[in-house]
Structure 1
Amino acid sequence: MTAHGASREALAAARERLDALTDNTAVDAVKLADELAGVTALLGREVSLRRVLSDPAQSGEAKAELAGRLLGGQVSGESADLVAGLVRSRWSQPRDLVDALEELANLADLTAAQQAGKLDNVEDELFRFGRIVSSNTELRAALTDRTATSAAKSELLRSLLGGRAESATERLVTRLVTHPRGRSLEAGLESLSKLAADRRERMVAVVTSAVPLSDGQKQRLAGSLAKLYGRQMHLNLDVDPAVLGGIRVQVGDEVINGSIADRVDDASRKMAG
């Protein structure tokens, strides 16, 4: 998704909310992906509804209430909350709202793959499938045939990918093929591959402090850790009064105790040297 202005800010906020949800392994990321994809398809079909839910002249709360009434009982509370957050935001154009929903659905599936240790496989499979499509005109024609039903295309992909690729890869490709939304197949696959690569570069730091961190402290900590590990760093924050005189940070299996600022700065200096 190429977003501008208000849409870029809204998408960034939505991705943070999704990360906060899916970092909790109790949340079913695959179910979340399916539900968000369903809402994407709904808004893709219903142009007037899409316009109402992205109308900057309407209050965010009014739009969130409308979305809640429409989706009530149809999706999980987590999905409903994400959609409510999206429609409360300002979007440069109605399509951006639907693009954001689609991206969140894809990210949820990629997160599920990451949690299962399969993200590298998915990224590789998306790339290889793109190469296969570009070199097989007959297959490309079948997957992009506007007269073919979604069920027929899904069955074709199941015969090609079922049991041979990760389930996340099959779901992502099937959604793209059955709901291209005006994109070429090649462009859609390239977008999915980039999303997978971006997700793979993301790391999570679990930060436990005696008192809540200020926004400035969080930004400095995230920046220092990103420099130290060479990757984008997402902070999962927890407050525990038992943590005295400092902060506890866990990145994967590595745990840093004590004054995190001093330790990170020291490590950064050593790396720079």
Structure 2
Amino acid sequence: MGSASREATVASRAALAGVGAKVDLTLAEQLFAAGRTIGGSLQLRTLLAEPAGDAAAKKAAIAAVFGSSLSATAVSLLETVTASRWSSVDDLLAGVEDLGLRAAAQSSNSSAVVIGELFAFGQTVTSNPELELAIGSKLGDPASKAALVDALVAGKVSGQSAAIIRHLVQQPRGRRIGRLVSDAAATVADQAGQVIATVTSAATLSAAQRTKLQKGLSARYGKPVTLNELIDPALVGGVRIAIGDDIIDGSIATKLAELRLQLAG
């Protein structure tokens, strides 16, 4: 993301913060829908993403396309987003999606629940090749993908998670399902002032181990940590932890590999 897009992102998030109590799941869904509409129209996304474009023309386009279908709050946020300078069309779409994700997170009673549901959906899909193909195929119809998601998650996840997943599969922007849910979960966590630690272990952690790990990581990073737990028997023992770009690898498999390298040298 270029510097222009970073500045635009800051301005967009500030605008969302200014909405206050008006942030709800409906607003999130409207922002997601607007992002898909923009992404699906070459003329519209070219106009709105043009750095040197006329601000009045952009505002008029937003009013013409969305004025009768979206809330005044959603329209105002879109005007703020498109008034900023973005480095690329994809960055603009990412900016709209970011606001939708943050609105969904803010409207939830538990960001941790949403994060867990997103990762669980991702694991369900990636563990089933046929399902992953149906959802991830570039040739698939977005509406059909949304219907498939509804069939999979109806009554099983929160409204926030369902709205997020439904949007992501319709507008993946070149990302595979694993990346889609991890990006979305990271944004939800950030909105809640949390970070996500992906913890890979050879066996399921006990409640005591999980609590100890969360407390230790929260103290280290200065904010609450939500765990995304994965099982990989190949690790033999210990855990591998990934938080952002940080990797903490205490697995026995890694230690054995390091030892073999030392002996070989």
Fold conserved between structures, TM > 0.5: yes
Given that 1:10 and 1:89 are in contact with CA atoms closer than 8 Å, whether structure 2 keeps it comes out as yes
TM, length-normalised to structure 1: 0.66
Q: Note the C-alpha offset of 1:138.
A: 2.2
Given that 2:23 and 2:106 are in contact with CA atoms closer than 8 Å, whether structure 1 keeps it comes out as no
**Structure 1 pair 136/85, CA: closer, same or farther in 2 (3 Å)?**
same
Q: Which residue of 1 aligns with 2:36?
A: 41
Q: Does 1:177 align with 2:169?
A: yes
Given that 2:126 and 2:177 are in contact with CA atoms closer than 8 Å, whether structure 1 keeps it comes out as no
Q: Note the C-alpha offset of 1:170.
A: 1.3
Work out the CA distance in 1 between the residues paired with 2:102 and 2:29.
Answer: 11
Work out the CA distance in 1 between the residues paired with 2:148 and 2:2.
Answer: 36
Q: Does 1:91 align with 2:86?
A: yes
Q: 1:61 aligns with which of 34, 56, 65?
A: 56
Given that 1:64 and 1:85 are in contact with CA atoms closer than 8 Å, whether structure 2 keeps it comes out as no
Given that 1:118 and 1:166 are in contact with CA atoms closer than 8 Å, whether structure 2 keeps it comes out as no
Q: 1:144 aligns with which of 136, 142, 148?
A: 136
Work out the CA distance in 2 between the residues paired with 1:89 and 1:188.
Answer: 25
Q: Note the C-alpha offset of 1:141.
A: 1.6
Work out the CA distance in 1 between the residues paired with 2:173 and 2:88.
Answer: 15
Work out the CA distance in 2 between the residues paired with 1:159 and 1:109.
Answer: 21
Work out the CA distance in 2 between the residues paired with 1:133 and 1:34.
Answer: 23
CA RMSD of aligned residues (A): 2.2
Q: 2:147 aligns with which of 149, 155, 158?
A: 155
Q: Which residue of 1 aligns with 2:102?
A: 107
Work out the CA distance in 2 between the residues paired with 1:56 and 1:153.
Answer: 33
TM, length-normalised to structure 2: 0.68
Work out the CA distance in 1 between the residues paired with 2:12 and 2:160.
Answer: 21
Q: What secondary structure is seen at the aligned counterpart in 1 of 2:96? A: helix
Q: Does 1:165 align with 2:157?
A: yes
The range that moved more, 154-163 or 8-17, is: 154-163
Work out the CA distance in 2 between the residues paired with 1:199 and 1:60.
Answer: 29
**Structure 1 pair 48/169, CA: closer, same or farther in 2 (3 Å)?**
same
Given that 2:23 and 2:103 are in contact with CA atoms closer than 8 Å, whether structure 1 keeps it comes out as no
Q: Note the C-alpha offset of 1:57.
A: 2.2
Work out the CA distance in 2 between the residues paired with 1:88 and 1:155.
Answer: 34
Given that 2:38 and 2:44 are in contact with CA atoms closer than 8 Å, whether structure 1 keeps it comes out as yes
**Structure 1 pair 120/95, CA: closer, same or farther in 2 (3 Å)?**
same
Q: Note the C-alpha offset of 1:188.
A: 0.8
Matched-pair identity in %:
29
For residues 115-155 of structure 1, the C-alpha deviation after alignment (integer angstroms, 9 at most, x for no partner) is xx222111111122222222222221221234543343233
The range that moved more, 63-72 or 135-144, is: 63-72
Number of aligned residue pairs: 198
**Structure 1 pair 89/147, CA: closer, same or farther in 2 (3 Å)?**
closer
Q: Note the C-alpha offset of 1:83.
A: 0.9
The range that moved more, 82-91 or 179-188, is: 179-188
**Structure 1 pair 139/58, CA: closer, same or farther in 2 (3 Å)?**
closer
Q: 1:71 aligns with which of 59, 63, 66?
A: 66
Given that 2:106 and 2:192 are in contact with CA atoms closer than 8 Å, whether structure 1 keeps it comes out as no
Q: Note the C-alpha offset of 1:16.
A: 1.2
The range that moved more, 173-182 or 54-63, is: 54-63
For residues 135-192 of structure 1, the C-alpha deviation after alignment (integer angstroms, 9 at most, x for no partner) is 2222212212345433432332223211111121111111111222222111111101
In structure 1, runs of 5+ residues without a counterpart are 203-229, 233-273
Q: Note the C-alpha offset of 1:104.
A: 1.0
**Structure 1 pair 133/84, CA: closer, same or farther in 2 (3 Å)?**
same
Q: 2:25 aligns with which of 22, 26, 30?
A: 30
Q: Does 1:130 align with 2:122?
A: yes
**Structure 1 pair 60/130, CA: closer, same or farther in 2 (3 Å)?**
same
Given that 2:46 and 2:89 are in contact with CA atoms closer than 8 Å, whether structure 1 keeps it comes out as yes
Work out the CA distance in 2 between the residues paired with 1:66 and 1:154.
Answer: 27
In structure 2, runs of 5+ residues without a counterpart are 195-221, 225-265
